[in-house]
Amino acid sequence: MTEKEKMLHGEWYDANFDKLLLEEIRKAKLLCYDFNMAKPGSVEQQSALEKLLGTELPEGVTVQAPVYFDYGEYTHFGKGTFVNHGCYFMDGGTIHIGENVFIGPFCGFYTATHPINFTDRNKGFEKALPIKIGDNCWFGANVSVMQGVTIGAGCVIAAGSVVTKNVPENCLVAGVPATIKKRINQ
């Protein structure tokens, strides 16, 4: 398997020295720059984001600059999703965001993890696990969602939370690490 194939299959891969992955990251950074520096709401800004994501945006998706992606093409937004300023999508593993999701400013979605052993970590090894967000969720400012996490539909994630474990549908979670504070009656 190539390093990219390993990455997409959730296996340990060379994240720091593989030429193909480094080139894909470089291209994504340039497209992020184009998006972030374009006039807000312009055709140029929309075009840069669609090139970065590798697809047309679903209806009603709004992404505020600045925004950052490692690859772009592995992040998928559902209809009506809103992404506020300063968000980061570390999308070596796929990130699937449902419909009508509100993402507050400076949120991060981190699919990558590294070996605890520094010898392997220094070799550039990384593992990327997918993140899945259900429909109708709301993320307060400065939320971090960690690798491999699934958040069910209808959840509210309080500002500053660090989500390290799966969250069932219709829950309010808060804290570091985030824990369920109450069930939401929808």
Q: Which two tokens stand for residue 61?
A: 């998706």
Per-residue pLDDT, 113: 95
Closest C-alpha among 117, 112, 156, 158 to residue 133: 156
Give the chain's mean pLDDT. Answer: 96
pLDDT-based confidence at 37, cuts 50/70/90?
Answer: very high
- Summarize pLDDT for 56-74 with one digit per residue, the tens: 999 999 999 999 999 999 9
Banded model confidence at residue 34, pLDDT cuts 50, 70, 90: very high
Q: How far apart are CA 171 and CA 11, in angstroms?
A: 31
pLDDT at 64: 97
pLDDT at 161: 98
Q: How confident is the model at residue 23 (pLDDT cuts 50, 70, 90)?
A: very high
Beta partners for residue 69, in sequence order: 89
- 114 catalytic? Reply is yes
Provide the pLDDT for residue 39.
Answer: 96
Please compute Rg for the chain using Cα positions: 16
Residue type, 158: A
Contact by Cβ (8 Å): 142, 177: no
Domains and CATH numbers, the chain: 3-183 (2.160.10.10)
- Is the pLDDT at 124 greater than 90, yes or no? no
- Specify the pTM: 0.95
> Which entry of 9, 76, 85, 114 is annotated as an active-site residue?
114
By CB atoms closer than 10 A (0-12, 13-18, 19+), residue 167 is: buried
* Residue 132 φ/ψ, nearest 5 degrees: -130, 130
Contact 135, 150 (CB under 8 A): no
Give the dihedral sign, CA 36/63/57/158. positive
In sign, the C-alpha dihedral spanning 18, 131, 64, 73 is: positive
Q: Is the pLDDT score of 5 beyond 90?
A: yes
**Is 176 in a helix, a strand, or coil?**
coil
- Residue 15: which pLDDT band, with cuts at 50, 70 and 90? confident
Instruction: State yes or no: pLDDT of 132 exceeds 90.
Output: yes
Rounded to whole angstroms, how far apart are CA atoms 53 and 74?
7
- Which pLDDT band, with edges at 50, 70 and 90, does 16 fall under? confident
Query: For residue 70, which of 122, 7, 134, 164 has the smallest C-alpha distance?
Result: 7
Model confidence pLDDT, tens digit, residues 145-186: 999 999 999 999 999 999 999 999 999 999 999 999 999 999
Residue 36 contacts residue 30 (beta carbons within 8 Å) = no
Spatial separation of the C-alpha atoms in residues 60 and 58, rounded to whole Å: 6
Which pLDDT belongs to residue 179?
A: 98
Pairing of strands 102-103, 144-145: unpaired
